A and B are shown apart, each in its own frame.
Chain A
Amino acid sequence: MKLHRIVVKDVMRRKRRVLYAVLGVVIGIMTVISILTVALAGQSRIYQQLEDYGANLIVIPAVSQLNLELGGLGLGALTVGQNYIPEDRVAQVRKITDDMINHALGVEDEQLRYAAPVSPKLYVSGEVRGTSVMVVGIDPEQERSIKTWWRIQEGEYLDGTDQALVGALAAELLDLRTGDRIVLGGFDMTIAGILHETGSDDDYQVFVPIKMAQVAFDREGVVSSVDVRALCIACPVEDIADEINLMVPGVRALAVKQIAMTEMGMMDRINRFMLALAGITLAVGMFGVVNTMTTSVHERIRDIGIMRAVGASRGQIARTFIYEAIIVGILGGILGYVAGTLLAYAIGPMIFQGVAVSYVPRYLALSLVLAILVAVAATLYPAFRATRIRVADSFRSL
């Protein structure tokens, strides 16, 4: 027989008292877990929304308009500069963006570096079956990771150099189907697939690999614009734009202010506030445990005296209380997790309309750790008091 078995037997005898202590833990843990679970559901919803925002940084050629004036008389505007960006600037934009994001996220390991989607584009005017259309040269992979909402209605996504992807309305107007062959800038192309309607300009465009567009339309080595998706709470979009404007000649970078970002920041602040509240609940629950444990010490003065009289050391007495606290913590952690998750299911939909709350298994580990910590911390002082009890006094007090 070991010490913890004695504790377990004693706990079984004093079920009610132990359950009071468990309740104190449950209330605190329940609040924490329900807040975390609801917050996670809300966050994933916002992340979903973020997906739909696409790029939030656009790099365009630095075309400036010089206003010509003479003696206060406007003489009109003169457009200065090129309408294209040299292709080697794309790599510079990519490097600045990644460096600044990883710096902001505190990532140093090369393996873990975050790579923001950077998608160069070339807009050219083309003609398909006698109708003029906007042909967009894209980097298929990068464009796909920015336009996460793109769905293929028919056929497949771009996979080869001589393929084209057609917007839904363009396909309808031009009567194009997957597998049809078209001629663009003198090159034969096959329609790889047709996009679902998106409600944007994409519906009227024809997408081809950017290399193909450059060759076919004689725009080798240049791109029209670069879309960057730097979406995360820590991403310093505006700083990135400033840096690009400063370091990369011939371009202008524009940061798009995102509602989602503000929403994200707000969410973050609300979370912190709620967690602070949960912390208070946890502390209140802890005082409950302190109270119950102190009562428990008092009730067990005689038992403690007996154990001391038959050879228990003070450390062993303290350990019986710590073991009891661990039992309380385990029970409180499990029940607190269950209660908190149920609470999250109940209140989640009231806070975020239509959000699907789902239980988070890893929070069970969190609530166990938290509950055991709280229960043990709450027991330290009562356990210390228990070790101060002298045998003779414990019997006299009866």
Chain B
Amino acid sequence: MLEVKNVSKIYGEAANRVVALNGVSLQAMKGDFIAIMGPSGSGKSTLLNIIGGLDCPSSGEVMLDGKRIDALHEDALVDIRRGRIAYVFQQYHLLPSLTALENVLLPLVFRGRHNGAQRASDMLARVGLGHRVNHRPGQLSGGEQQRVAIARALVNDPALILADEPTGNMDQKTGMEILDLFRQLHREGHSIIMVTHNPEIARHAGEIIVLQDGEIADRIEQERSGRDES
């Protein structure tokens, strides 16, 4: 479904040149749960941004369902974001002026669907926030905000969910709750690529890709795929 071929990303020029990614390749099939690990600055987030079309690679190709998306025009990327790929960020990235329900509705609003309130509140119920739909992000805890962000990612029923350190801002317990939510989504058939530096979390993925200085240092296929575990 997703294929990353020999992708590099270079910031700056000449003396200030920083190589963030150097010839990274990976593949993800439908229903995969891939964890990307590595120390800070190893290029994890850059890789995830490139996969999702939020950033352009300096060289290399990104194919989604057999089509290149790395050099797509902004307007074409909009279609990909409206249903095929959804993001969950470390800082949740919710709009502060909108309620939880409205934040979940947002992707539907941009798609021009004005009657998605029921679906949005179903999604909130699914992430366990059915009782806090009218709270604003400021009134929710970190874990709750991340649940809202996950509900927002799910509302368009995306083929691939990209999560950039979704538990990075949380204590261990909340982090594990969020992880459980991701595992449940995985069991339901969603494909997930998650950046994390928590080995405990990565342990539940089907494959771990370890990045170091912009290159893949290690690839671990895990026997205990998240899907098999009950």
User: What is the interface of chain A, defined by CB distance below 8 A to chain B?
Assistant: 1-3, 6, 9-10, 12-13, 302-303, 305-314, 316, 390-392, 395, 398
Contacts and interface: CB of A to CB of B under 8 A. Distances in A.
A229 B85 CA distance: 79
A42 to B, nearest CB: 47
Interface in B16-74: 49, 54-55, 74
B111 A309 contact: no
B41 to A, nearest CB: 13
Contact of A306 (B82, B95, B105): B95
B110 A312 contact: yes
**Chain A contact residues: helix, strand, loop or mixed:** helix
Contacts of B106: 6, 307, 310-311
Contact of B89 (A10, A307, A312, A395): A395
A101 B87 CA distance: 73
Contacts of A309: 54, 81, 87, 89, 93
Contacts, number: 75
Contacts of B95: 6, 10, 303, 306-307
A53 B49 CA distance: 81
Interface stretch (B96-104, B170-178, B203-211): B96-104
13 contacts: A1-B105, A3-B109, A6-B98, A10-B95, A12-B97, A309-B81, A310-B106, A311-B107, A312-B78, A314-B78, A391-B54, A392-B49, A395-B93
Interface in B142-168: 152, 156
A398 B45 CA distance: 14
B75 interface: yes
Interface centre among A308, A311, A316 (most CB of B within 10 A): A311
B105 A313 contact: no
A316 B110 contact: yes
A392 B107 CA distance: 18
B94 interface: yes
A311 B78 contact: yes
Interface of B: 49, 54-55, 74-75, 78, 81-83, 86-87, 89, 91, 93-98, 102, 105-107, 109-111, 114, 117, 152, 156
A74 B78 CA distance: 103
B152 A1 contact: no
Contact of B97 (A10, A302, A310, A392): A10
A219 to B, nearest CB: 84
A306 B109 contact: no
B98 A314 contact: no
Contacts of B97: 6, 9-10, 12-13
A313 B107 CA distance: 11
B97 to A, nearest CB: 4
B49 A2 contact: no
Contact of B152 (A9, A13, A310): A310
B102 A2 contact: no
A313 B75 CA distance: 7
The 6 closest A-B pairs by CB, nearest first: A392-B55, A311-B82, A13-B97, A311-B110, A391-B54, A392-B54
B110 A307 contact: yes
Contacts of B114: 1-2
B101 to A, nearest CB: 9
A9 B81 CA distance: 24
Nearest to B90: A395
Given A10-B95, A307-B110, A310-B152, 12 more contacts: A1-B105, A3-B109, A13-B96, A310-B106, A311-B81, A311-B82, A311-B83, A313-B75, A391-B55, A395-B89, A395-B91, A398-B91
Contact of B110 (A10, A302, A313): A313
A306 B117 contact: no
A313 B78 contact: yes
Contacts of B93: 302, 305-306, 309, 395
Contacts of B105: 1
B109 A6 contact: yes
Residue from the set B49, B86, B97, B114 with the largest chain A CB neighbour count within 10 Å: B97
A6 B102 contact: yes
Max chain B C-beta neighbours (<10 A), residue from A305, A316, A390, A391: A391
Nearest to A313: B78
B224 to A, nearest CB: 32
A314 B78 CA distance: 9
A310 B107 contact: yes
B78 A390 contact: no
B140 to A, nearest CB: 16
Nearest to A8: B97
Nearest to A398: B91
A231 to B, nearest CB: 60
